[in-house]
Amino acid sequence: MKFKLLSDDDIKALDALKESHGGAKEIAETIEKMRDLETRKKILAATEYGKMIEEAEELVKEFAKVEDFEKANRISYKEGMGMATSQVSGFQGARVIHRCMQRIAESASSELPLFAPAEMISVVALTEDYVYSGNLMATLAMAENIMKIDRFCTANLIGIPMPERRFKDIEKVTGVKFETEPAGDGLLKLVLANQGTFFGNFGGIEVANDNHLVYLDGITRAARATGANFFLNPSWSTIIAICYYGRDIPNLQIKISMMLSTQNLMQFRMLLNIINEYIKDDMTSPISEINIGNGVSAENFVKCSRELEQSGIKGINLAAHILINPDLGRADFNWFDE
């Protein structure tokens, strides 16, 4: 006997939530419109971040060129070997991005010039202020439009305190009721049974009851307000939900966090089966990247890569940690020692 991952009531609630944001077509078109640099600059001009964007456009002109570095160091590449992408976390908001650009520009004439990574990750919670003050939009404008990085990954956490109306709006359209408690400053937060901390259990892994709806509402609002299109997802239930919810929103994509800890092939296959349950006709999914785990071995990484290829699922990149912050794992872990 096979059990459906989503019940009829689950699907009804997910459909209702998406329609409350205008439906798939409206969401996708709004995201695309809000990704335009001129649109972002026009909005940010009325905020404290307008001048920062102007400075960023000048700073990027001073960056060292990768092509010059490759030529000076006689770097060459082997055909048919695939591509390795650098991905760095810690880009926590507009001020951090702006300071990063200053340091890259300052390093251009040094013996060791700095370069922006291909992908950036931020774990700033999607609070009202971060999403609607211009902070997140300025972050994306500098990273995506001005530095032209490939992708910027934004985090959403289940335990983020929000105005009461956010919960009420979701309840009204879905018929689901949420258990909340005061979080100070007139805000409410979900009651989490497991380690009810500000960020939830391990950054938001716990998604009890129907809390996946809060996650999806959060990323949809942020996407529509700023053009953010790539979000971190650390829990099994929200992964199932987004695989269904995002099938017809092609520019709303998900990176599965290392917090899910799919460090062996059995867990990886579980994940592939979830993705396959709601796969699109072209064999792609809203899931576009999977971080296999915190400290996964190179051998298991290769095995997962082979199984992904054999699955026929397309459009998914695999990631793994080469080095780890000591608060996330073994302090002396080094991929190259394995």
Q: What is the pLDDT of residues 8-22, one digit of tens each?
A: 999 999 999 999 999
In a domain, 275, yes or no: yes
Pairing of strands 162-163, 187-190: antiparallel
The sign of the torsion formed by the CA atoms of 257, 263, 269, 270 equals negative
Other residues' Cβ atoms within 10 Å of the Cβ of residue 213: 25
Q: Report the pLDDT value the prediction gives residue 329, as an integer from 0 to 100.
A: 63
Domain count, the chain: 1
Rounded Cα gap, residues 29 and 230, in angstroms: 15
Nearest to 242 by CA among 205, 274, 195: 274
Any domain includes 268: yes
C-alpha dihedral (301, 304, 308, 310), degrees to nearest 10: 120
**What is the residue range of 334's domain?**
261-338
Is residue 154 included in any domain, yes or no?
Answer: no
Low-confidence spans in the chain with pLDDT less than 70 = 1, 193-208, 234, 258-263, 294-295, 323-330, 333, 335, 337-338
Whether 154 and 257 have beta carbons less than 8 Å apart is answered as: no
Tell whether 245 is covered by a domain.
no
